[in-house]
Amino acid sequence: MSTRFLILLPLCLLATSCDKAKNLVEKARESGTAAVAPSGKAPTGPAVRDLAAEEFESFIASPGRLMVVDFHADWCGPCQTLGPVMERVAGEFPGKVYIGKINVDHAGDLPGKEGVSGIPDVRLYRDGKLVDKFVGSIDAGRIRELFEKHSAGIEAAPAGEAAPAAPEAEPVIQPMKKDWLPPGIERR
């Protein structure tokens, strides 16, 4: 048996589902290249972070910064091409431009509410107001132009400041209703 098989075998035996196995593999890959952030997600860069749908409003409302929201999906080829380009260009604007990535497959009805009809759908917000947007993949030069145009007049945040964090929401646990039944089942 190969060493690789012997290392991965215990991980697969511990995982009770394919999704858990995928998550374990992703965490193992990330642990070799980046430290895990306090939220449990690996940071993808100083100005880039994954957003949950409930963090959207607080993220875009960050004052004095250009907040870029990238609606994407893991299976989308143009999204996979655009993401690293935007991250690299955002690195040229430290403390001014922050990117929040929202996976449309995990965002519930937020993409529908925001009118996202195609991906990648990138929106630029300043002080909570939409200032520009584009759909599809564009080149680094055009992204740089947009970031320069909409971050003009913004003072860079102090060195070492990470992307604005959304307040940690405590999960709300409520007791089930006494008369609860699964969908499709009726009480006689």
The ranges assigned to domains in the chain are 10-39, 44-151
Instruction: Give the fold, CATH level 3, of 44-151.
Output: Glutaredoxin (3.40.30)
Q: How far is CA 41 from CA 30, 52, 79, 143, 173, in A?
A: 9, 11, 20, 26, 23
Considering only 45-49, 133-137, 169-173, which range has the smallest mean pLDDT? Answer: 169-173
Lookup: tokens for 16: 């009770």
Active-site annotation, residues: 76, 79
* Side-chain-side CA neighbours of residue 99 (13 Å): 28
Burial class (CB in 10 A: 0-12, 13-18, 19+), 37: middle
d(CA 22, CA 30): 12
pLDDT in tens, 35-59: 333 333 333 445 788 989 899 999 9
Write the CB contacts of 65 (distance below 8 Å, at least 6 apart in sequence): 96, 97, 98, 126, 154, 157, 164
Encoded tokens for 43: 């940071």
**pTM of the complete model:** 0.60
Confidence band of 186 (pLDDT split at 50, 70, 90): confident
Q: Which residues make beta-bridge pairs with 39? A: none
Amino acid at 170: E
Residue-wise pLDDT tens digits, 15-27: 445 566 566 556 5
For residue 77, the one-letter residue type is G
**Distance of CA 158 to CAs 12, 63, 85, 162, Å?**
44, 15, 24, 9
